[in-house]
Amino acid sequence: TREKPFTCTECGKGFSDKSNLRSHQRTHTREKPFTCTECGKSFSQKIGLHNHLKCHTGEKPFMCTECGKSFSNKSNLHTHRKIHTGERPYICTECGKTFPRKKNLQSHQTVHTQEKPFTCSECGKCFSQKKNLHTHQKIHTGEKPFKCNECGQAFLRKRNLLSHERIH
């Protein structure tokens, strides 16, 4: 094993060179010196900024071998793969519902807290989840994205289309 003469005064972790120690110390200081000139988002590591820039260039070098969908970073590909494996490691302690992504669980949990942070600017109605606000806003725009292939009737919600299709 390599010698690690550079030690973090905060947690005692050792590093083989000073630049790795400095990089690590930003986890304690929360310093983010690498900023995207495109959108202003900041990162603690240079590699974080490098990976982020791909979302602006449209570069998606990480491809799912299962379905061919491409991603700008390895982390998003890894998360996507759970769709194919059926892996849903995030569990709601309140109701037992499972999710493939942590952010899906966090979004779901607002249902139990009665928290409704998403407000319709048109009518003031509040929602616990952003997706429900987006669906609701279509009422105001008149958008009905789900169309019956049989008769052409359009619906605001997919479940309404599926229910309608049973009559044909």
3-class SS shares of the chain: helix, strand, coil, % to 5: 40, 15, 45
Residues of the chain with pLDDT under 70: 1
Distance between CA atoms of residues 70 and 62, nearest Å: 5
pLDDT of residue 31: 93
69 assigned to some structural domain: yes
131 assigned to some structural domain: yes
93 assigned to some structural domain: no
The sign of the CA dihedral 139, 101, 99, 78 is positive
Instruction: State how many domains the chain has.
Output: 2
pLDDT digits (tens, 9 = 90+) for 54-70: 888 989 999 999 999 99
> Can you give the CATH number for the domain in which 76 is found?
3.30.160.60
pLDDT of residue 1: 65
